Structure 1
């Protein structure tokens, strides 16, 4: 089974919905990765802010950061091979890597809230 790892730049969250403006590319990637994870595919995402050790331990990522600096992030690895530097994978690329159709990567998380208005 393929393994995809995304090494994100320093940011407060991976969804793109925090802060003063929403980043549609981050929202798209978060949704696509959610769909892949739900199907049992091996996808990992590391944030420089929270997991700097992952960046330091991966020799390819470490080399790219030393050569090109933090603007090289995100870095995308597929089966431990660098596939993208400086941009996120498109849904078409993710679909190709996992042998899916791009439209299968658009499922959004569903959250249900239960509110009891009769509670005293």
Structure 2
């Protein structure tokens, strides 16, 4: 199984799901990671506030932050190599990067790629309603 690690910018708590205003993208990521965990897939998640040692001890991430700064985060590492920077993976990208079956993530509301593919539900472009 592939190993994924997510290195995030400084946040007030380990998931960023605290305070008055919750970022829907962080909520989606937490939901995806919990769903993956329920299927036995662990993804390491580290933010600069709560896990600075992880940033220092990972040479790839340390070099990236030195070169691009914290503004380039999040950094997604798969099997020791940078896969994505500056954003979180879509649900489809999680599936591809981790090489897991689609049902491991399922349909999670708020994923832009899933929302785009919904369409209006009409076949052949002819809407009946």
Pair in the same fold by TM > 0.5: yes
Hey, what does 1:46 align to over in structure 2?
Answer: 46
Unaligned 5+ runs, structure 1: 108-120
Partner of 2:32, secondary structure, is helix
1:16, 1:45 → 2: CA distance?
11
1:106 equivalenced with 2:113 (yes/no)? no
SS at match of 2:106: helix
**Offset from partner CA, 1:41-75 (integer Å, 9 cap, x none):** 13110111111010001111011101111101111
Q: Which residue does the alignment assign to 1:35?
A: 35
Identify unmatched segments of 5+ residues in structure 2. 110-129
RMSD: 1.9
CA distance in 1, matches of 2:42, 2:50: 20
TM-score calculated relative to the size of structure 1: 0.80
- The structure with the greater share of residues assigned to helix is 2
Q: How many aligned positions are there?
A: 107
Q: Is the 8 A contact 1:14 1:26 kept in 2?
A: no
Give yes or no for contact 1:2–1:79 (8 Å, CA) kept in 2: yes
Residues 31, 105 of structure 1: 8 Å contact kept = no
Measured in 2, the distance between the counterparts of 1:16 and 1:50 equals 11
CA distance, structure 1, for counterparts of residue 107 and residue 15 of structure 2: 15
TM-score by length of 2: 0.75
- For 1:1-120, list aligned pairs within 5 A: 1-97=1-97, 98-101=99-102, 104=106, 106=108
